[in-house]
Amino acid sequence: MLRIALGQMEVIPGRPDINFHTMLSMIVSARDQQANIIIFPEMAIPGYFLGDTWEQPAFLRDCEMYGQRIVEESVDICIIFGNIGIDWNKKNDDGRFRKYNACFIAHNRKLLGDDNFPYPFRIKTLQPNYREFDDNRHFYSLPKLADELNKQVDDLLQPIRLTIANRRFRLGCLICEDSWSDDYAIDPAAILLKNGPIDLFINISSSPFTLGKNNKRNRVFAHNTKQYGVPLVYVNNVGLQNNGKTIYTFDGFSTVYNRMGNIIEYCPPFDPLLTCITLDFSADDSTQAIKAVPDDHGIDTIYHVLHYGIRHFLNSIQMKKVVIGVSGGIDSAVTAALYVTILGPENVLLVNMPSIYNSQTTKDLASQLAKNLGCLYAIIPIQEAVTFTIAQINQAPISNQKTGDAFHLSVSPFIAENIQARDRSSRVLAGIAAAFGGGFTCNANKSELTVGYSTLYGDQAGFLAAIADLWKHQVYEIATYINQSIYQKEVIPHETITLVPSAELSFDQSVDEGKGDPLIYPYHDFLFRAFVEHWHRATPEDILSWYMEEVLEEKLGCQTGLVNRIFKTPQEFVDDLERWWKLYTGMAVAKRIQAPPVLAVSRRAYGFDHREAQNTLYYTTRYHTLKKQLFKGAEANV
Amino acid sequence: MLRIALGQMEVIPGRPDINFHTMLSMIVSARDQQANIIIFPEMAIPGYFLGDTWEQPAFLRDCEMYGQRIVEESVDICIIFGNIGIDWNKKNDDGRFRKYNACFIAHNRKLLGDDNFPYPFRIKTLQPNYREFDDNRHFYSLPKLADELNKQVDDLLQPIRLTIANRRFRLGCLICEDSWSDDYAIDPAAILLKNGPIDLFINISSSPFTLGKNNKRNRVFAHNTKQYGVPLVYVNNVGLQNNGKTIYTFDGFSTVYNRMGNIIEYCPPFDPLLTCITLDFSADDSTQAIKAVPDDHGIDTIYHVLHYGIRHFLNSIQMKKVVIGVSGGIDSAVTAALYVTILGPENVLLVNMPSIYNSQTTKDLASQLAKNLGCLYAIIPIQEAVTFTIAQINQAPISNQKTGDAFHLSVSPFIAENIQARDRSSRVLAGIAAAFGGGFTCNANKSELTVGYSTLYGDQAGFLAAIADLWKHQVYEIATYINQSIYQKEVIPHETITLVPSAELSFDQSVDEGKGDPLIYPYHDFLFRAFVEHWHRATPEDILSWYMEEVLEEKLGCQTGLVNRIFKTPQEFVDDLERWWKLYTGMAVAKRIQAPPVLAVSRRAYGFDHREAQNTLYYTTRYHTLKKQLFKGAEANV
Statement: residue B33 has pLDDT above 60: yes
pLDDT at site B271:
97
Q: Are residues A115 and A163 in the same domain?
A: yes
The single-letter code of the amino acid at A9 is M
CA dihedral defined by B238, B597, B316, A533, rounded to 10 degrees? 100
Spatial distance between the Cα atoms of A614 and A620, rounded to a whole number of angstroms: 18
Statement: residue A105 has pLDDT above 80: yes
CA atoms within 13 A on the CB side of A137: 25
| Torsions phi, psi for A569 (to 5 deg) | -135, 160
Do residues A361 and B410 touch, judged by C-beta distance below 8 A?
A: no
The bridge status of strand B238-242 relative to strand B246-251 is antiparallel
CA dihedral defined by B55, B57, B61, B66, rounded to 10 degrees? -30
Residues 6+ apart with CB under 8 A from A318: none
CA-CA-CA-CA torsion sign (A611, A614, A617, A618): negative
Q: Are residues A606 and A626 in the same domain?
A: yes
Number of neighbouring beta carbons within 10 Å of residue A300: 15
- Give the chain A residue nearest B587 (alpha carbons): A317
Name which of A15, A461, A622 is nearest B618 (Cβ-Cβ).
A15
- Count of domains forming chain B: 3
pLDDT at site B113:
85
Q: Are residues B378 and B485 in the same domain?
A: yes
Do residues B424 and A389 touch, judged by C-beta distance below 8 A?
A: no
Average pLDDT, integer, range B573-586 = 98
Spatial distance between the Cα atoms of B516 and B504, rounded to a whole number of angstroms: 7
Q: Does A342 touch chain B (CB under 8 A)?
A: no
Do residues B96 and B107 touch, judged by C-beta distance below 8 A?
A: no
Q: Are residues B254 and B107 in the same domain?
A: yes
Q: What is the CATH number of the domain that holds A285?
A: 3.60.110.10
Asked if B616's CB is within 8 angstroms of A14's CB, the reply is: yes
Do residues B496 and B333 touch, judged by C-beta distance below 8 A?
A: yes
Q: Which residues pair with B201 in a beta bridge?
A: B172, B232
Average pLDDT, integer, range B384-399 = 98
To which H or E segment does residue B169 belong? strand B167-175
pLDDT at site A284:
57
Q: C-alpha distances in angstroms, A625 versus A94, A622, B109, B420, B564?
A: 45, 5, 25, 53, 71
Spatial distance between the Cα atoms of A184 and A357, rounded to a whole number of angstroms: 56
Spatial distance between the Cα atoms of B116 and B376, rounded to a whole number of angstroms: 65
Give tens-digit pLDDT for B135-154: 999 999 999 999 999 999 99
The DSSP secondary-structure symbol of A33 reads: T
Query: What is the per-residue DSSP string for A395-458?
Result: HS-EEETTT--EE-----HHHHHHHHHHIIIIIIIHHHHHHHTSEE-B---HHHHHHT-S-TTT
Give tens-digit pLDDT for A275-323: 999 998 876 555 678 888 887 779 999 999 999 999 999 999 999 999 9
Give tens-digit pLDDT for A180-224: 999 999 999 999 999 989 999 999 999 999 999 999 999 999 999
The single-letter code of the amino acid at A60 is L
Q: C-alpha distances in angstroms, A38 versus A81, A126, B309?
A: 8, 24, 55
Domain end (from A479, A513, A547)? A513
Which range marks the domain in which residue A256 is found?
Answer: 2-297
Number of neighbouring beta carbons within 10 Å of residue B562: 16
Asked if B535's CB is within 8 angstroms of A55's CB, the reply is: yes
Name residues 27-56 of chain B within 8 A of A (Cβ): 47, 49-53, 55-56
CA dihedral defined by A268, A272, A273, A274, rounded to 10 degrees? 120
Domain end (from B296, B316, B334)? B296
Q: Which residues pair with B250 in a beta bridge?
A: B239
Among candidates A458, A170, A445, which has minimal Cα distance to A330?
A: A445
Spatial distance between the Cα atoms of B608 and B185, rounded to a whole number of angstroms: 26
Give tens-digit pLDDT for B173-196: 999 999 999 999 999 999 999 998
Tell which of A322, A618, A625, A627 to mutate to test the B interface (max B CBs under 10 Å).
A618
pLDDT at site A517:
86
Asked if B590's CB is within 8 angstroms of A593's CB, the reply is: no
Q: Are residues A494 and A576 in the same domain?
A: no
Asked if B431's CB is within 8 angstroms of A426's CB, the reply is: no
Among candidates B434, B462, B356, B325, which has minimal Cα distance to A394?
A: B434
Smallest CA–CA separation between B521 and chain A, in Å?
A: 23
Number of neighbouring beta carbons within 10 Å of residue B536: 14
Spatial distance between the Cα atoms of B227 and B224, rounded to a whole number of angstroms: 5
Domain end (from B516, B537, B561)? B516
Among candidates B438, B466, B482, which has minimal Cα distance to B349?
A: B438
pLDDT at site B287:
64
Do residues B72 and B93 touch, judged by C-beta distance below 8 A?
A: no
The CA-to-CA distance between both ends of chain B, in Å, stands at 79
Number of neighbouring beta carbons within 10 Å of residue A48: 26
Asked if A618's CB is within 8 angstroms of B15's CB, the reply is: yes
Q: Are residues B353 and B400 in the same domain?
A: yes
Spatial distance between the Cα atoms of B456 and A289, rounded to a whole number of angstroms: 56
Among candidates A492, A478, A487, A465, which has minimal Cα distance to A600?
A: A465
| Torsions phi, psi for A604 (to 5 deg) | -155, 85
Smallest CA–CA separation between A67 and chain B, in Å?
A: 13
Give tens-digit pLDDT for A5-45: 999 999 999 999 999 999 999 999 999 999 999 999 999 99
Q: Are residues A160 and A273 in the same domain?
A: yes
Do residues A324 and A349 touch, judged by C-beta distance below 8 A?
A: yes
CA dihedral defined by A600, A604, A607, A610, rounded to 10 degrees? 170
Q: Are residues B186 and B100 in the same domain?
A: yes
Statement: residue A605 has pLDDT above 80: yes
pLDDT classification of A115: cutoffs 50, 70, 90: confident
The DSSP secondary-structure symbol of B178 reads: G
pLDDT classification of B116: cutoffs 50, 70, 90: confident
Q: Does A535 touch chain B (CB under 8 A)?
A: yes
Asked if A96's CB is within 8 angstroms of B615's CB, the reply is: no
Q: C-alpha distances in angstroms, A168 versus A30, A122, A159?
A: 21, 19, 12
Statement: residue A577 has pLDDT above 90: yes
What number is the ipTM of this complex?
A: 0.96
Q: C-alpha distances in angstroms, A391 versus A400, A507, B393?
A: 20, 20, 22
Statement: residue B65 has pLDDT above 90: yes
Spatial distance between the Cα atoms of A608 and B448, rounded to a whole number of angstroms: 24
Q: Are residues B380 and B459 in the same domain?
A: yes
pLDDT at site A636:
65
Spatial distance between the Cα atoms of A202 and A209, rounded to a whole number of angstroms: 20
pLDDT at site B284:
57
Using DSSP's 3-state secondary structure scheme, residue B303 falls into helix
Q: Are residues B406 and B261 in the same domain?
A: no
> With b meaning 16 or more CB within 10 Å and e meaning fewer, what string describes A371-397?
bbbbbbbbbbbbeebbeebbebbeebe
pLDDT at site A287:
64
Spatial distance between the Cα atoms of B504 and B421, rounded to a whole number of angstroms: 10
Smallest CA–CA separation between A593 and chain B, in Å?
A: 6
Q: Which residues pair with A407 in a beta bridge?
A: A398
Percent of chain B with pLDDT over 70: 98
Count of all residues that appear for chain B in the document: 638
Q: Are residues B249 and B328 in the same domain?
A: no
Q: pTM for the whole thing?
A: 0.97
Smallest CA–CA separation between A198 and chain B, in Å?
A: 25
Q: What is the CATH number of the domain that holds A480?
A: 3.40.50.620
Tell which of A45, A409, A429, A449 to mutate to test the B interface (max B CBs under 10 Å).
A409
Spatial distance between the Cα atoms of A154 and A143, rounded to a whole number of angstroms: 9
Smallest CA–CA separation between A633 and chain B, in Å?
A: 23
Q: What angle do CA A594, A458, B605 make, to 5 degrees?
A: 15
Name residues 60-79 of chain A within 8 A of B (Cβ): 61-62, 65
Q: Rounded mean pLDDT of chain B?
A: 95
Give tens-digit pLDDT for A612-629: 999 999 999 999 999 999
Do residues A453 and A471 touch, judged by C-beta distance below 8 A?
A: no
Spatial distance between the Cα atoms of A135 and A177, rounded to a whole number of angstroms: 10
Q: Where are the alpha helices (DSSP H) in A491-602?
A: 494-498, 521-532, 540-548, 552-556, 562-566, 570-585, 587-593
Q: Are residues B98 and B221 in the same domain?
A: yes
**Which of these ranges, A278-287, B59-68, B378-387, B453-462, has the smallest mean pLDDT?**
A278-287
pLDDT at site A392:
98
Q: What angle do CA A63, A68, A69 make, to 5 degrees?
A: 100
The DSSP secondary-structure symbol of A181 reads: -
pLDDT at site B283:
64
pLDDT at site B285:
58
Asked if A244's CB is within 8 angstroms of B592's CB, the reply is: yes
Statement: residue B317 has pLDDT above 90: yes
Residues 6+ apart with CB under 8 A from B284: none
